[in-house]
Amino acid sequence: MELKSNTAIFCGRMTKKALTLAGRDGSSLPGKVAQTIDADLLAKLSDGCRCILVTGTNGKTMTTALLVKALEEVYPKVLTNASGANMLQGITSAFLTLKRHERPIAVLEVDEATLPHVAEAVHPEMLVFTNIFRDQADRYGSTEGVLAHLRHGARLAPTATVIANGDLPAFADLRINNPVRYFGTCLQESLPQSASEKEDDFCPQCGAPLSYEQRTYGNLGRYACTECAFKRPPLDFVLEQVDDVSTHHGAGLINGTAVEINTGGFYNLYNALAAFSAARHFGLDAETIARGMRKVVPLAGRQENVDIDGKNATLHLIKNPVGFNQIVNLLALEKEPFSLALLLNDLPADGVDTNWVNEADFEKLVTLTSHRPILIGGRRTDVLKNRLVRAGVAPSDLSLCETMPDMCRAIAQLPTETVHILPTFTALADLRRDLAHEGYLN
């Protein structure tokens, strides 16, 4: 490599070492420093790697983790951005960890708006599209805006195969020249969902309403237009049956293969389906994939368990109405009495527009708490308080925690042994940092 690239690599790695010594994460800043010196560094570092990019509104992190574990059953090294740093600088940071001449398979979680930049740099072999839901309207504008980013990314990598969720109407109308293979569900009946959970369900070709023979959640399912010939495309990979869904486990049948995962909720079976589909297209046999996926444990903030002074606390990242409602459905499966804590921030990584909470099913969530005290924290406790009161919570049942240490102390005083904590992205980072400082997390 030229002097500029070598200097960028050296400075990026030194930044990582300095952050590690300071007890900091260092998942993005090293890449940012290196890119400032050499804007083309990602393309150079990834040259020769077989890259798979995973993107979409929900499920990127878990799908990536499941796919990595499947591939590790066959390949000795799989590079990934396990911390979830999915912007350009975070992905560059991941490649900075490679030794000279090391060219492994790379499975990378990629932010939707960042996909075109990463796809242009790394020339991926495969793109995995999980779903598109309304999310961070201040940043993306609309679901159409997100779809535009994904289409652009695919067009910049014209030889990449797209593994897409065929249950999403927008993905049946991608308008790209890439090879496309679809995954989806073929269940006997629709899953129950609230009115607030349904996304837009209009034909992307003629605008007429869609009719659903079977709906899973949001606007996912087996659909057909009521006016034109548009319908769900034929599926290459199918979740044929669901054998178990609990708070910490999921099992089902995908293309005739029994699959088990150590995370709960139906939405994680979708993530398993996406990972299975990508791994099968990559050439792995089905049993090898299933064996690898069984090794995945809950990730940071995604059903992550923490013992807080004897309380069995579980962290669930929240960020948009559909994802929130799926977590509520998950909590409805909880067999133990539980208490609840919610943390809402409005920083750019969370989405500065907090109006999404008005579309989330807080009413159902409240019915699960049996009038126990609810802890609220983060920058926008005012929004949480108003929304919970409108959902039927008495103001006297809400306990405001002004700081993260206050939240940790309050959790330890809750009346139940089981606690579910629902934070937005930056609130999750703040909470985990404080939990680590107090010795609750490594």
Lowest mean pLDDT among 12-26, 49-63, 82-96, 119-133: 12-26
**Helix (H, G, I), strand (E, B), or coil: what is residue 373?**
coil
Q: Which residue in 433, 367, 366, 428 sits closest to 398, CA to CA? A: 366
Residue 196 has pLDDT above 90, yes or no: no
Give strand pairing partners of 31.
none
Q: Which residues are annotated as a binding site for Zn(2+)?
A: 203, 206, 225, 228
The answer to whether residues 80 and 120 belong to one domain is yes
Of the three residues 259, 276, 294, the one that is the final residue of a domain is 294
Cβ atoms 107, 78 nearer than 8 A: yes
The answer to whether residues 171 and 278 belong to one domain is yes
The answer to whether residues 269 and 308 belong to one domain is no
Residue 405 has pLDDT above 60, yes or no: yes
pLDDT at 349: 87
What is the tens place of the pLDDT at every residue in 229-262?
Answer: 999 999 999 999 999 999 999 999 999 999 999 9
Q: Is residue 307 a part of any domain in this protein?
A: yes
The answer to whether residues 64 and 165 belong to one domain is yes
CA atoms within 13 A on the CB side of 276: 30
Q: How many domains does the chain have?
A: 2
**What sign for the dihedral angle of Cα 361, 363, 369, 374?**
positive
Q: Is residue 23 a part of any domain in this protein?
A: no
Which residue reads 């790697």 in tokens? Answer: 49
The answer to whether residues 281 and 141 belong to one domain is yes
Residue 263 has pLDDT above 50, yes or no: yes
Residue 134 has pLDDT above 50, yes or no: yes
Cα–Cα distances in angstroms (integers) from residue 321 to residues 91, 328, 374, in the given order: 27, 10, 20
The answer to whether residues 281 and 314 belong to one domain is no
Question: What's the mean pLDDT in 112-124?
Answer: 97
Of the three residues 255, 270, 294, the one that is the final residue of a domain is 294
- E strand spans, 297-388: 302-308, 311-316, 338-343, 374-377
Q: Is residue 7 a part of any domain in this protein?
A: no
The answer to whether residues 229 and 324 belong to one domain is no
Question: What's the mean pLDDT in 407-420?
Answer: 93
pLDDT at 26: 72
Q: Is residue 26 a part of any domain in this protein?
A: no
Residue 334 has pLDDT above 90, yes or no: yes
First-to-final CA distance of the chain? 37
Residue 351 has pLDDT above 60, yes or no: yes
Q: Is residue 20 a part of any domain in this protein?
A: no
Q: Which residue in 217, 417, 267 sits closest to 335, CA to CA? A: 417
The answer to whether residues 187 and 322 belong to one domain is no
CATH code, domain with 314: 3.90.190.20
User: Residues for the chain: how many in total?
Assistant: 442
The answer to whether residues 265 and 388 belong to one domain is no
Average pLDDT of the residues of the chain: 92
Q: Which residues are annotated as a binding site?
A: 203, 206, 225, 228
Q: Which of 353, 361, 397, 406 is catalytic?
A: 353
| Band (340; pLDDT cuts 50, 70, 90) | very high
Provide the whole-model pTM: 0.93
| Band (2; pLDDT cuts 50, 70, 90) | confident
Question: What's the mean pLDDT in 33-55?
Answer: 95
The answer to whether residues 236 and 364 belong to one domain is no
What is the tens place of the pLDDT at every residue in 267-314?
Answer: 999 999 999 999 999 999 999 999 999 999 999 899 999 999 999 999
Which residue reads 């009038």 in tokens? Answer: 371
Q: Is residue 341 a part of any domain in this protein?
A: yes
CATH code, domain with 93: 3.40.1190.10
Q: Which residue in 323, 318, 350, 324 sits closest to 137, CA to CA? A: 350
| Band (188; pLDDT cuts 50, 70, 90) | confident
The answer to whether residues 262 and 386 belong to one domain is no
**Helix (H, G, I), strand (E, B), or coil: what is residue 112?**
helix
The answer to whether residues 257 and 347 belong to one domain is no
pLDDT at 189: 66
Of the three residues 259, 294, 329, the one that is the final residue of a domain is 294
Q: Which domain holds residue 148?
A: 39-294
> Quick check: is 353 catalytic?
yes
Let me know if 305 is exposed, middle or buried by CB neighbors in 10 A (0-12, 13-18, 19+): exposed
Question: What's the mean pLDDT in 74-83?
Answer: 92
Q: Which residue in 321, 381, 316, 300 sits closest to 346, CA to CA? A: 381
Residue 5 has pLDDT above 50, yes or no: yes
**192: DSSP letter:** P
**Helix (H, G, I), strand (E, B), or coil: what is residue 342?**
strand
Q: Is residue 29 a part of any domain in this protein?
A: no
| Band (136; pLDDT cuts 50, 70, 90) | low
Q: Is residue 364 a part of any domain in this protein?
A: yes
Residue 422 has pLDDT above 60, yes or no: yes
Percent of the chain scored above 70 by pLDDT? 95
